[in-house]
A and B are shown apart, each in its own frame.
Chain A
């Protein structure tokens, strides 16, 4: 379970604090795959960063007993000068995974990069990069995967493969997904959080949340 206790988050700006989340109280159950909905700037990515432990609430607490992945956005956390393989090795090291050979081979296969896997990330196209980042995250066993828009890039075949991979992981993990693609949200998630008017509401049904979101 992941619980938000009175979580507020603001960023200081020259016009004073700009609140992104205010007094949030939410409980995310373990058996749900969550869609996060909201307009641009409503705080979706901030919420993922808070969940990922790389940004912190200004006040309040986030409690969790799960292994949560890093927020998977397009080019996050990768060093462009290093090759695909070296980046995987780095992530293995910081996660204490000793079987890095297996993970490397898994990522190489899954990302369909072939020899490009041995080239620096700077030389990748954005499509290759998104395939690569997604493959990397699938190489690790987390309890909760934080996925930021990454499913909407890449070619159709790869997108199907991604969704299949997520469905597989679903057996002993779940996902928290940010996307503007409503079909993906409907297929992948069975609960939703709608961020609007500085509030966050938990919905048991994705359809209902989408309806509310489209009629904001």
Chain B
């Protein structure tokens, strides 16, 4: 056995967990790993049919399926899945922590990377499907969309990490977060743009940092849409605060969490 640097140990460990998660997540299903892509794909198709069936150009500036695609892809896959996977990082990974080089943080990182990668893969597959059906799903400013997605991804990962750490001290947090996910979808401007909401309600809804992420992504995605409320600084501040909270909670309590 040869000595490795801390960085190369972490790299090896994250790669190993990455593979292990990919192999085990759907290993008991008949179709196996196809579900990795199939599950979000089916969900997206369902949403696009349900909401998109109301007709083309529902919001004036874009076709309904493309609108649904841009919003649900980012909200469900990037926010919801990344948050949930980080949040439940302690489930089923106890065995991993029997090795001294594996820490809970590596599980967080590996799971966040998996969800980020799935987001891109599923997004590409659906976008190609939409192109085939004659829509134009490509973002008008791809780089800006990806940058906003990166912020949202960091926010989701930090939020889930913080929830996981706090949840191991009080399990009530789990209940609270799973109750919160459904209302959040209505409050985050996922299936409507903020421009159709009466201005007197803006000041309440804009407390929610996810709404800003959704609006910013929408703005960069569709050149014809300008969000009346989107505020990048607000989102960035929230992301930084949650990252700092998550990291410091982890650093202060990871040994205590081990014993639980």
Taking Cβ atoms with an 8 Å cutoff, the residues of A that contact B are 11-12, 52-56, 67-68, 70-71, 76-79, 81-82, 86, 90-91, 93-97, 120, 140-143
Contact of A77 with B23 in the complex, beta carbons under 8 Å: no
Please list the 3 inter-chain residue pairs (A to B) with the smallest Cβ-Cβ separation, ordered nearest first. Answer: A53-B100, A77-B98, A93-B16
9 contacts between A and B (CB under 8 A): A56-B255, A70-B100, A81-B28, A82-B20, A90-B19, A93-B13, A95-B101, A97-B1, A142-B1
Contact of A52 with B16 in the complex, beta carbons under 8 Å: no
Give every chain B residue within 8 A of A12 (Cβ-Cβ): 259
Consensus secondary structure, chain B interface: helix
For the complex, is B233 an interface residue (Cβ under 8 Å from A)?
no
Taking Cβ atoms with an 8 Å cutoff, the residues of B that contact A are 1-2, 4, 8-9, 12-13, 15-16, 19-20, 23-24, 27-28, 95-102, 255, 258-259
Contact of A79 with B20 in the complex, beta carbons under 8 Å: yes
Consensus secondary structure, chain A interface: loop
Give every chain A residue within 8 A of B95 (Cβ-Cβ): 76-79
Contact of B258 with A56 in the complex, beta carbons under 8 Å: yes
Known: A90-B20, A94-B99. 5 other contacts (CB 8 A): A76-B95, A77-B99, A93-B13, A94-B16, A96-B8
A82 contact from B1, B4, B24, Cβ within 8 A: B24
Contact of A141 with B258 in the complex, beta carbons under 8 Å: no
Contact of B8 with A70 in the complex, beta carbons under 8 Å: no
**Nearest residue in A to B97 (C-beta to C-beta)?**
A54
- Given the complex of chains A and B, what is the CA–CA distance between A37 and B255 in angstroms? 27
Contact of A76 with B98 in the complex, beta carbons under 8 Å: yes
Contact of B27 with A81 in the complex, beta carbons under 8 Å: yes
Give every chain B residue within 8 A of A77 (Cβ-Cβ): 95-96, 98-99
**Nearest residue in A to B100 (C-beta to C-beta)?**
A53
Most B C-beta atoms less than 10 A away, residue of A52, A76, A96: A96
* Shortest beta-carbon distance from B3 to chain A in Å: 8
Contact of B258 with A94 in the complex, beta carbons under 8 Å: no
Give every chain A residue within 8 A of B9 (Cβ-Cβ): 96
**Nearest residue in B to A55 (C-beta to C-beta)?**
B258
Contact of B24 with A94 in the complex, beta carbons under 8 Å: no
Asked if A140 meets B1 with Cβ closer than 8 Å, knowing A70-B99, A93-B12, A94-B12, the reply is yes
